[in-house]
Amino acid sequence: MIRQAFRRALLGAGLATAALLALPAAAQQAGQQAGQPAYPSRSITIVVPFAAGGPTDTVTRLVAEVMGRDLGQPVVVENVGGAGGTLGAARVAQARPDGYTLLLHHIGMGTTPALYRRLAYDPVGGFETIGLVTEVPMTVIARKDIAANSLAELVALVRRDQTKINYANAGIGAASHLCGLLLQKAIDAPMTTVPYRGTGPAMTDLIGGTVDVMCDQTTNTTQQIRAGSVKVFAVTTPQRLPALPEVPTAAEAGLPGFEVTVWHGLYAPKGTPAEITTRLSRALQAALRDEKLVARFADLGTAPVAQERATPEAHRAFWQADIAKWRPVIQAAGQYAD
């Protein structure tokens, strides 16, 4: 692998020079085997509908590498970002259902049907499920000098001051936006929502004390929590997290039912044969058992889902339930992303 990395980088570079100087450059390439061998016979592409470097991209790249080993073919990641993930999803929904173009998408698959009124593809019927991958927990955090020391005190503060409290999010449809909707519904009091373009600027203003409250994935918040640059009130999962053992769950802190995770699932275009999705599901399960992957996920503050959830059936059931959960919340807020 290392040798390959070096070879690619160096040759890519060398060839670029040659090319730019218009010198003849000969390329030698391995021929692909012809015929119709068993699936998979060539490399598989997983489309990530977000820019490279984001949390979904990170999860996908980790999973893709290990899945490739099980499948015996490279699994490459293609970032098709834009329009809240709908561009990449549309590309996969319209791809040939041969198992060579897959989609790894997050909670957005559950909220898109309610958030978008005009889509060029069927956000539910356009896909076959392969399996769930991971659920990233979320944390309720606030600027470090806020006048509350527990979730109960924060709830009391919001109920008293209502729209005087500023809730930051990373834009419409972002996990922090969804979590904010659910939080306001759970405590039954409105806050002033201040949208940002992405998590980075929102987090900067939260640490700087410009905004008051935020709720985001552990991937983005763990470091800030550990460094004490923000105050943490609760995690949004049924159990406490190994990475943040001292933080209570929302239920323990007095908000039962306030549960939300950023879940990721793997999809294929509608009409992909069942034997292919089963094969992919098997590869996914194998990947999620991989020790190194589990360790990397733990670094991100998350864990792979249980093996029985990484199946097409469990994934579909979970997805349907999530769509049903978000539709009323989003419609009550009257917010659309288009």
Partner 1 sequence: MWQSILDLGYGFGLALEPHNLFWCFVGVLAGNLIGVLPGTGALTAISMLLPLTFAMHPVPAILMLAGIFYGSQYGGAIGAILLNLPSHPPHAVTCLDGYPMTRAGKGGTALGLTMIASFFAASFGIIVMIFASPLLVEMAFKFGPAELFSIMLLGLIAGSTMSRGSPLKGIAMTVMGLLLGCVGTDVQTGQQRFTFDLPELADGVELVSIAMGVFGIADFLKHVNRMKHVGNLQPVKFRDMRPSLAEMRQAFWPMVRGTLVGTIFGAMPGTGPTITTFIAYAVEQKISKTPHKFGTGMIAGVAAPEAASHSKTQVDFIPTMSLGIPGDAVMALLLGALLIHGIQPGPRLLSEHPDIFWGLIASFWVGNVLLMVLNVPMIGVWVKLLQVPYRFLFPAAVFFIAIGAYTVNNEIFAVYEVLVFGLLGWLFMALDFPIAPILLGYVLGPMVEENFRRAMLLSRGHFGIFVERPISATILGIIALLLAAQLFFSLRARLRPRQAAAGTLSFQE
Partner 2 sequence: MNFSTKNRFKDYCGGLILCGLGTAAALQAQSYHLGTLNRMGPGFVPMALGILLAGVGLVLLAATALRREEAAPSGLPALPGAAEEGHHGPDWRGWGCICAGVIAFAVLAEHAGLIPATLGCVAITAMGDRENTWRDAILLAIGIAIMAVAVFWWGLGVLMPLVKGIY
Contact set with partner 2 (CB under 8 A) = 8, 11-13, 15-16, 18-19, 22, 24-27, 29, 32, 45, 76, 78
Find the shortest distance in angstroms from Cβ 16 to partner 1: 4
Give phi and psi for 262, each to the nearest 5.
-95, 100
Provide the terminal-to-terminal Cα distance of the chain, rounded to the nearest Å.
43
265 burial level (CB within 10 Å; 0-12, 13-18, 19+): buried
Contact call for residues 268 and 276 (beta carbons, < 8 A) = yes
Q: How many residues bind partner 1 (CB under 8 A)?
A: 75
166 burial level (CB within 10 Å; 0-12, 13-18, 19+): middle
Nearer to partner 2, 43 or 204 (CB): 43
Find the shortest distance in angstroms from Cβ 12 to partner 2: 3
Nearer to partner 1, 20 or 274 (CB): 20
Site for partner 1 in 85-144 (CB under 8 A): 86-87, 90, 118-120
Helices and strands, number each (H, E), in the chain: 11, 9
Tokens of 28: 């030698």
| Neighbour tally for 274: CB within 10 Å | 9
Nearer to partner 1, 107 or 314 (CB): 107
Nearer to partner 2, 10 or 306 (CB): 10
Nearer to partner 2, 83 or 207 (CB): 83
Binding of partner 1 by 331 (CB under 8 A): no
| Neighbour tally for 113: CB within 10 Å | 16
Q: Applying CB under 8 A, which of residues 78, 98, 153, 252 lies at the interface with partner 1?
A: 78
Contact call for residues 261 and 305 (beta carbons, < 8 A) = no
Kindly write out the interface string for residues 183-202 of this chain, putting x where it contacts partner 1 by CB under 8 A and - elsewhere. ---------x-xxxx--xx-
Return the DSSP state at 50.
S
Find the shortest distance in angstroms from Cβ 110 to partner 2: 26
Residue 332 partner contact from partner 2, partner 1, none using kind-dependent CB cut-offs of 5 to 8 Å: none
Find the shortest distance in angstroms from Cβ 29 to partner 2: 6
